[in-house]
Amino acid sequence: MASPWDEDILDKDFKILTPLGVGTFREVKLACHLPTKAQVAVKILSKKSNSLGEMNSEVKILQTLEHRNIILFFHVVDTLSRTYIITEYVAGRDLQIFLSEVGCLKEQEARPIFQQVISAVHFLHLRRIAHCDIKLENILIDGDGNVKLCDFGMAIQLAEGQKVEELCGSLLYMAPEMLARKPYDGLVVDMWSLGVVLYVMVTGQYLYAEDTLDGMHRLITSTKYPISYHLSIPCYIIIAQLLMVPTIGRITICQLVKRPWLGPIKTHTTPTTKDILPRLVETMCTMGYNLEDIFSSLRCKQPIKVTATFNILKHKLSCEDSYPQSEQHCLKSSHVGAHHPLVRLKRRISDPSFPRTRKSRKNQTKEGV
């Protein structure tokens, strides 16, 4: 993590535009990176409400990830009272809002979205990174149907065979072994969450809903979720394999990517900067950056302003090459990505509202996370 800076450091390089979302202990705002005029998302974490270890872990994990279906990390600014995580901005909406607007999806509509989510999770799990908070709200979709998995505040880098004892994530997506307060495999609970996501996408309702951990666990272990008559057998089989209560029978991500219903999953290729590096360096030099400073910052890989500009400009130039018509000046007023009132999806019982922070098992009560 970067050393503490003055609170006004953000104003020197970023112009805050509009709120994008507010959580229990964090908020996200749309901003403009002034040196490059690129739109970015700024996640603001209060040090009074968030664990320093968790914030450091989120940044450390994000810095290692570069995948077309995972939100791209640009920079982190650490101050005395807050941490600002600057990432790629997706001009669109999350999957929860999308489904609230269009209703449940046909399988052929859900498939390309789910394929991209699976591609992201496959990339994570091969590196033994558990997201631990996969849900509709953390799946972003832009106007062209491109999907990005976001919010790695609960993510864990797991050692081989490591079990997790903390409750984390959102109640509607929690696996039964987590609800039972048993040590669990973070990769395996991610698969349960994927099952919930797919089920909601194709049915328009949640599997189970209760307002306590114990109540949710009782429902999952004592009742069967309803199966919509319109689902194809291959789609139903995937849902059933993801939502296996015994963890021994739950499908893994490597098994899931081979299921015919999903179709071909695009193989991840490591992005390269060599094609645009000359343009990157030339552009930064015209912006007033020193050539030696540019390469020095890249070698040390520290979260400093030069590195931030390099990362953001690299993404901006890549997007211009891919989507030359889509680039917009970030200071123009825009309603894209602004807050939308949420129409609730159907739930079988009530709609519980729980904080999404990670807590130790010993501090839990049956009243919730």
pLDDT tens figures, 105-161: 999 999 999 999 999 999 999 999 999 999 999 999 998 899 999 999 999 999 998
The DSSP string of 75-143 is EEEEBSSEEEEEEE--SEEEHHHHHHHH-SPPHHHHHHHHHHHHHHHHHHHHTTEE-S---GGGEEEET
Task: Write out the CATH class of domain 93-267+342-363.
Answer: mainly alpha
User: In one letter, which amino acid is 24?
Assistant: T
Percent of the chain's residues with pLDDT above 90 = 41
Q: Residue 353 has what pLDDT?
A: 34
Q: Which residue has 């500009």 as its token pair?
A: 309
Fold of 9-89+272-322: Transferase(Phosphotransferase); domain 1 (1.10.510)
pTM for the full predicted model:
0.82
pLDDT for residue 362 is more than 50: no
Is the separation of the CB atoms in 118 and 265 below 8 Å?
yes
β-partners of residue 21 are: 28
Q: What is the largest CA-CA distance in the chain?
A: 66
Least trusted range by pLDDT, from 39-43, 111-115, 163-167, 336-340: 336-340
State the chain's mean pLDDT as an integer: 80
> CA–CA distance from 351 to each of 167, 213, 291 (Å)?
19, 13, 55
Q: Residue 173 has what pLDDT?
A: 95
Catalytic (active-site) positions: 133
Mean pLDDT of 329-340: 35
Q: pLDDT category, 351, cuts 50, 70, 90?
A: very low
Q: Residue 320 has what pLDDT?
A: 64
Is the separation of the CB atoms in 33 and 314 below 8 Å?
no
Q: pLDDT category, 339, cuts 50, 70, 90?
A: very low
For 59-79, the pLDDT digits (tens) are 899 988 989 999 999 988 888
Q: In this predicted model, which residue has the larger pLDDT, 229 or 118?
A: 118
Is the separation of the CB atoms in 14 and 42 below 8 Å?
yes
Q: Where are the domains of the chain?
A: 9-89+272-322, 93-267+342-363
- Do 9-89+272-322 and 93-267+342-363 fold alike per CATH? yes
Q: pLDDT category, 327, cuts 50, 70, 90?
A: very low
pLDDT for residue 324 is more than 80: no
